[in-house]
Amino acid sequence: AQSVSQHNHHVILSEAASLELGCNYSYGGTVNLFWYVQYPGQHLQLLLKYFSGDPLVKGIKGFEAEFIKSKFSFNLRKPSVQWSDTAEYFCAVIPYTGFQKLVFGTGTRLLVSP
């Protein structure tokens, strides 16, 4: 079945460490790509999105993601994490096949220790 995969379910980092969260999708053709974040006790909110153009996308709070079409990947990165980055991160895709809807990955829980 077509899907969005996030291979890291739980990640634990120390402050100032670098972060990379993997996201792969299995849809062919054109896709729109997103990373959402859910901080403890808060709503899901959009971190960044890719529609077209430069495959390196910069989002809020120092996050960036790179779209690699040949690898069907859209990995999230941050050079130096902070304790406040502790949250659950969701990769999501809108495939341009059939009805266009957001398809989410299973999420990655990030814990940053001070």
Partner 1 sequence: DAGVTQSPTHLIKTRGQHVTLRCSPISGHKSVSWYQQVLGQGPQFIFQYYEKEERGRGNFPDRFSARQFPNYSSELNVNALLLGDSALYLCASSLDGPYEQYFGPGTRLTVT
Interface positions with partner 1 (CB under 8 A): 4, 32, 36, 43-46, 49, 51, 90, 92, 94, 99-107
Q: Which is nearer to partner 1, 10 or 71 (CB)?
A: 10
Q: Which is nearer to partner 1, 80 or 106 (CB)?
A: 106
CA torsion through residues 96, 99, 103, 52, sign: positive
The minimum distance between CB 102 and partner 1, in angstroms, equals: 5
The minimum distance between CB 114 and partner 1, in angstroms, equals: 26
The minimum distance between CB 55 and partner 1, in angstroms, equals: 18
| Strand runs labelled E in 7-107 | 10-14, 19-21, 24-25, 31-38, 44-50, 56-58, 64-68, 73-78, 87-95, 103-104
Which residues, 6 or more positions from 43, have their beta carbon under 8 angstroms from its beta carbon? none
Q: Which is nearer to partner 1, 45 or 113 (CB)?
A: 45
